[in-house]
Amino acid sequence: DENAGQLVFTIEVSRDQGQTWDLLAQGLKEPSYIWDTRAFSEGVYILRGIADDGVDKVSATSSEFSVKNLRPTIAFGKTKTISGTGSALVDDGVAKSPSREIVDVEYSLDGGIVWLEAEAKDAKFDSAEEPFSFKVVGFREGIYEILVRARDSGGITGEAKKILIVDFGPPP
């Protein structure tokens, strides 16, 4: 640094060939950064690093590169009512990952605030295609949104939602 100032680094990312930039990190004391791309959609990106000593700024831009986070997918099966209860339901489906093992499947009935474990049909989530199920009790008539998420061994998650209409029939 010619001005003998303390260098501070900023890292930005662009999804549109540098037309716009989103902040990844700022205030870094070292010119390095580990970017966890799992939260980013697949696509072509450019990174820009900016060094600032308080007087001058210098930037460097990477060439284009691809991020390929192939997320697990979820396919729902049929919802079944457990005989004799009326308010207990079993739902099932299949979680698939294009490149890794599925290690976890969860479901939520409250918009993702609380997540509950689904069960692997073969007792363990450990392959790229995993049938799963879960049982929910205490439903009342109404419309419900069920969220399901699957996580693979790389920590990448895929989510899906299902709208469930519970109607126990006409009133007596």
The residues, ordered by sequence, that sit 6+ positions from 152 with a Cβ below 8 Å of its Cβ are 72, 97, 99, 100, 101, 102, 103
Looking at the chain, the whole-number percentage of residues with pLDDT higher than 90 is: 59
Please write the tens of the pLDDT for every residue from 104-140: 999 999 999 999 999 999 999 999 999 999 988 877 7
To the nearest 10°, the Cα dihedral for 112, 139, 161, 101? 80
In the chain, the percentage of residues whose pLDDT exceeds 70 is 91
- In this prediction, residue 158 carries a pLDDT of 92
CB 9, CB 51: distance < 8 Å: yes
The structure's pTM equals 0.60
Burial class (CB within 10 angstroms; exposed 0-12, middle 13-18, buried 19+) of 87: middle
Task: Report the pLDDT value the prediction gives residue 168, as an integer from 0 to 100.
Answer: 72
pLDDT of residue 169: 73
Among residues 31, 82, 33, the alpha carbon closest in space to that of 52 is found at 31
Looking at residue 90, its pLDDT comes to 77
